[in-house]
Copies of this chain bind each other. A is one copy, B any other.
Amino acid sequence: MAPSVTASPAVTRTRVRAWRARGETVAFVPTMGALHEGHLALARRAKHSADRVVASVFVNPLQFNDARDLKAYPRDLAGDRALLAREGVDLVFAPRAAAFYPKGHATRVTVGGLDRVLEGAHRPGHFTGVATVVSKLLNVVEPDQLWLGQKDAQQVAILTRMIQDLDFAVTVRVAPTVRARDGLALSSRNARLTPAERAQAPALYRALKAGARHRSAGAAERAMRKELARAKLAKVDYAALVDPRTFEKPRPGVRRGLLVVAARFPSARLIDNLKVNL
């Protein structure tokens, strides 16, 4: 049975509260739609870990620092609903931007420090948009679990910090990155790559694996940049070893961490990451 789709925060809250009043647990999967196997794997895990699953489909204008990127972002609510139905999602919350951010909306949630490095430095305002919309979604859905994808590792770190800092009553669960056969991390933006760009895009994952074979942060970063340089159509935004909680450089001598890369192809900007113990 296809899940109900509603644009109404009140309807969503009422449905979820009825489930919780019966003692059912609720998992929440926020998405921007344009669903791929990465999202569906997330929904599947959520379904296994809770009695009910709510997904949101909302292309959040607040987190786009590039108006063209917002406009180009793919939208297909009917298709998304059909895909979520197969995973047993119970309810889809798909608010309308004009109602979710009415005239006069002025509140922002910021996570200091974490929002200024790497992705934050390359996409000013992006993480404030993410933290603000997820605060709203958590207040509407009131879930027990929030499911996020490891592919957006800095987003995971920022939302984990926000949830702890603001005492949201929700547990963060993280699902591993789903990859194409050639290693490319699944992303809604992959669809925008030209065939030539798509052929070079696995360089990100190859770079991460090359980095993981070295024993120091410096050597790992050099190996990643060397591998990325082979993708002639891409420009590297960053390639680094970071602490997965703070996204700062690990302390000297610390070899456990997260390798992170970002590269800009003419048609889309891609990111990826890999947990390592160098």
Contacts and interface: CB of A to CB of B under 8 A. Distances in A.
B111 A110 contact: no
Contacts of A106: 111-114, 161, 165
Contacts of A139: 166-169
Contact of A105 (B21, B110, B165): B165
A13 B139 CA distance: 15
Contacts of A131: 107
Contact of A107 (B13, B105, B111): B111
Contacts of A9: 167
Contacts of A162: 107
A109 interface: yes
A108 interface: yes
A5 interface: no
A134 to B, nearest CB: 10
Range, interface on chain A: 20 to 34
B169 A142 contact: yes
B114 A166 contact: no
A169 B109 contact: no
The 4 closest A-B pairs by CB, nearest first: A107-B165, A106-B112, A139-B167, A136-B167
Contacts of A110: 107-108, 110
A210 interface: no
Interface string A69-105: 0000000000000000000000000000000000011
A113 B111 CA distance: 20
Contacts of A13: 169
16 contacts: A9-B167, A13-B169, A21-B21, A104-B161, A105-B165, A106-B111, A106-B112, A106-B161, A107-B109, A107-B110, A108-B110, A109-B166, A132-B166, A135-B166, A136-B165, A142-B169
A261 B107 CA distance: 25
A203 to B, nearest CB: 33
- Most B C-beta atoms less than 10 A away, residue of A9, A21, A167: A167
A131 B108 CA distance: 10
A274 to B, nearest CB: 25
A9 B21 CA distance: 21
A140 interface: yes
